[in-house]
Amino acid sequence: MEQLVQQIEDHRREIAAAEAATPEAVEEFRIRYLGTKGLVKNIMAEMKQVPNERKKEFGQVLNDFKLFVENKYETLKENLSGQQAADTVSIDWSLPGNPVPVGTRHPLNIVRNQIVSIFRRLGFAVAEGPEIEDDWHNFGAMNLPEDHPARDMQDTFYIHQNPSWLLRTHTSSVQARVMESQKPPIRVICPGRVYRNETISARAHCFFHQVEGLYIDENVSFADLKQTLYFFVQEMFGKNVKVRFRPSYFPFTEPSAEMDISCLICGGSGCNICKHTGWVEILGSGMVHPNVLENFGIDSNRYTGFAFGMGVERITQLKYQVNDLRLYSQNDVRFLKQFTGVVG
């Protein structure tokens, strides 16, 4: 029996090394080792020579060997079919791939980014604040005491459960947040979404976007305000655009001014967008009211500052001639696709 076991070992080595590159070779392997007159059957026949008491032991060796040969046969078959698949499926790597649709930036984001990057070049840092605000940061700190009629200028959404919380009506609330946590010199730009209780139409929406600016230091003057905003307009709309300042009123600035630019749609000759005046208002601004500075412990005798706030929808409307505010939030791809590739 030892001799038989030795033979089996030799066969094992020979079979382990066997290869088959064609279906015929695999079939030859099967006939030779697993066929009715094949090696496995022959060795099985040797069983009768094995003494009874060792039959069990030898049976195990034989079974093992048979399994080994069968596995090898399966492997040879698999290798061959894998090889054939690779041979027959020819891939043309030069064909164009399936197109992957590329999204676009939203026009409001494009314009917001452009505004921010212009002011960053002037040394303004970006600051943000919460959209759910308290009365103090949105109104009180900005010099609108509780009974102040100017509160009616902005129709506010209050939170039912606790009316001392509200959806901020302007990004001026971020001015308050910044002055609370930073000391002058302060130079920030604050982009964000704001909310007002308005009926939705082509010209009004219950939410929109603003960018606020705040600059506080020693010796900041109205001339700095004018030059900064003039620079912004030229960068944003081009060198030929004219600006003008009109006196205005905001509780948080004194003096206050609104800034107009010459109408980009008609070039100043008069059209629907500029209501035939040749000018369009783009922002509110002014010198920070001393009460606002003092609310945050900033010495108004030593420090002065200017602030401004602009609507991103309005700037986008002028830049890309968008005539209906609702387009910004309807998610109509025919509108959004027009901004493919616009950098911002």
- What is the contact surface with ligand DAH in residues (CB under 6 A)? 170, 172, 212, 250, 253, 284-286, 307-309
DSSP string, 282-344: EEEEEEEPHHHHHHTT--TTT-EEEEEEEEHHHHHHHHHT---TTHHHH--HHHHGGGTT---
Q: How far is the CB of 307 from ligand DAH (least distance, A)?
A: 3
Q: How far is the CB of 240 from ligand DAH (least distance, A)?
A: 26
Q: How far is the CB of 92 from ligand DAH (least distance, A)?
A: 60
Which residue lies nearer to ligand DAH by CB, 156 or 172?
172
Which residue lies nearer to ligand DAH by CB, 15 or 259?
259
Q: How far is the CB of 152 from ligand DAH (least distance, A)?
A: 13
Give Cα separations from 149 to 92, 94, 143, 144 (angstroms). Answer: 74, 71, 12, 8
Q: How far is the CB of 290 from ligand DAH (least distance, A)?
A: 14
Q: How far is the CB of 271 from ligand DAH (least distance, A)?
A: 24
Q: How far is the CB of 319 from ligand DAH (least distance, A)?
A: 19
Residues forming a β-bridge with 210: 192, 311
Any residues with CB less than 8 A from the CB of 192 and at least 6 apart, and which?
128, 129, 131, 168, 171, 174, 209, 210, 211, 212
Which residue lies nearer to ligand DAH by CB, 29 or 308?
308
Which residue lies nearer to ligand DAH by CB, 253 or 304?
253
Find, among 169, 261, 182, 259, the residue nearest to 214 by Cα: 182
Which residue lies nearer to ligand DAH by CB, 72 or 168?
168
Amino acid at 136: W
Angle at 189 between CA 184 and CA 195, to 5 degrees: 120
Amino acid at 36: T
Which residue lies nearer to ligand DAH by CB, 69 or 211?
211
Which residue lies nearer to ligand DAH by CB, 43 or 257?
257
